[in-house]
A = this chain, B = another copy of it.
Amino acid sequence: MQITLKDIARMADVAESTVSRALNNKPGVGEDTKLKIIKIAKKHNYRPNQLARGLAANKTNMIAVILSEMDSPGNIEIVKSLEKAAEKNGYQIILCNTNNQTEKEKSYLTLLESNQVDGAIFIGGKLVEGHLLRASFSPDNNIVLVNRLAEENFFTSVLTDYSQGVYKAVGHLLDQGFENIALVGGEDYNLIEEEKSAGYKAALIDHGYQINEDLIFSIKADRKSGYNVFLEIIEGDIIPDAFISTSELTTIGLVEAIKMGGYFIPDDFAVVGYGDNILTSVIDPPLTVLSEPVDALADYSFDFLLKLINKKMKDQQIKVLTPELIIRESSISKYN
């Protein structure tokens, strides 16, 4: 069995409460008794039982980070950044992966509802559903959303401005002389997808072009779908000369399909992908990408969560960050 507060109290010949105060640096302990207690604790490698502590203090110093998708290096980057912020503030992170399954999300939500964590950050995922919305109604459930939208915007959230991102990408491709730009977005009917196509359309119109709905594709955000959509497209009536792909995995698949078909990037098709990370960086040729502000997403969301936990958040906060367009070979026209 582990050594407990009580044991230490006995050994130091003081009350448990004194030991607790001493070990937690709380006022009201004599300097010498404090030293004595600390020494004994160290000697016996004392570790406070966090369950008991959490139960008594109603605070665990743990937060849950709930990930919709673990195969996205961009998400992993956000997590790593969150880890740093958490460590700096004395919090530990529980990382949970839902694989976009609502059931798993519900199950992880109980971490919050059963007081195992002080708050939760949800990264990515589908439009917020009822269970999350209901949970958010309790002021005890501190929730921050990252890159995720809800019909009604009750949530403290940090968002990437996909609309702006796609707008930039379209502008760049038009500059390069590409005129038939296809948008490959996610299939989930949700507001984020709407944003993407809004940015796409706005950019085209602002530059004096027509919108062709047949060049907007909604597919599952995985590699295979990215691959298949290209096969489908080249069988179609309108063949684009450029692609904007708005998820990491579809980008991978799309590029694969293009190369497998014997076409060249950017000569036959220009490509703007998503996410500036190890996965997209391995692709040949070097890919122009919309780069997510991963560190800022992490910093803002952790900061918001901390404020929620400490009841320092007066009004609901929403922070919108703009992705950066990093231009590389895959979108540079040979005619330029």
Q: Which residues of A contact B (CB under 8 A)?
A: 1-2, 47-52, 54-55, 60, 70-71, 73, 76, 79-80, 83, 87, 92-97, 99, 104, 107-108, 110-111, 113-116, 138, 140, 223, 252, 256, 259, 278-279, 282-284
Interchain CB contact under 8 A, A259 and B284 = yes
Q: With A1-B140, A278-B223, A278-B252 in contact, is A97–B114 under 8 Å at CB?
A: no
Identify 4 new A-B residue pairs, CB closer than 8 A, beyond the known A49-B55, A51-B60.
A49-B115, A83-B97, A95-B95, A279-B282
Q: Closest B-chain residue to A64, C-beta based?
A: B94
Q: Closest B-chain residue to A71, C-beta based?
A: B278
Q: With A94-B95, A140-B1 in contact, is A47–B110 under 8 Å at CB?
A: yes
Smallest beta-carbon distance A279→chain B, Å: 6
Interchain CB contact under 8 A, B282 and A252 = yes
Interchain CB contact under 8 A, B114 and A92 = no
Smallest beta-carbon distance A256→chain B, Å: 8
Taken together as a complex, chains A and B put the C-alpha atoms of A80 and B95 apart, in Å, by 12
Contacts of A54 on B, CB cut-off 8 Å? 51
- Give the number of copies in the complex: 2
Smallest beta-carbon distance A122→chain B, Å: 15
5 A-B pairs in the complex with CB atoms less than 8 angstroms apart: A51-B115, A79-B97, A83-B97, A259-B284, A282-B282
Interchain CB contact under 8 A, A51 and B55 = yes
Smallest beta-carbon distance A84→chain B, Å: 10
Taken together as a complex, chains A and B put the C-alpha atoms of A104 and B94 apart, in Å, by 14
Taken together as a complex, chains A and B put the C-alpha atoms of A333 and B42 apart, in Å, by 62
Contacts of A55 on B, CB cut-off 8 Å? 49, 51-52, 55
Interchain CB contact under 8 A, B60 and A70 = no
Interchain CB contact under 8 A, B97 and A94 = no
Contacts of A93 on B, CB cut-off 8 Å? 96
Contacts of A51 on B, CB cut-off 8 Å? 51-52, 54-55, 60, 114-116
Contacts of A116 on B, CB cut-off 8 Å? 50-51
Taken together as a complex, chains A and B put the C-alpha atoms of A288 and B97 apart, in Å, by 30
Q: With A55-B55, A70-B79, A278-B279 in contact, is A47–B114 under 8 Å at CB?
A: yes
Smallest beta-carbon distance A202→chain B, Å: 32
Interchain CB contact under 8 A, A48 and B95 = no
Smallest beta-carbon distance A263→chain B, Å: 14
Contacts of A110 on B, CB cut-off 8 Å? 47
Q: With A252-B282, A279-B279 in contact, is A114–B49 under 8 Å at CB?
A: yes
Interchain CB contact under 8 A, B114 and A50 = yes
Taken together as a complex, chains A and B put the C-alpha atoms of A48 and B80 apart, in Å, by 31
Q: Which of B2, B97, B108, B223 contacts A113 (CB 8 A)?
A: B2
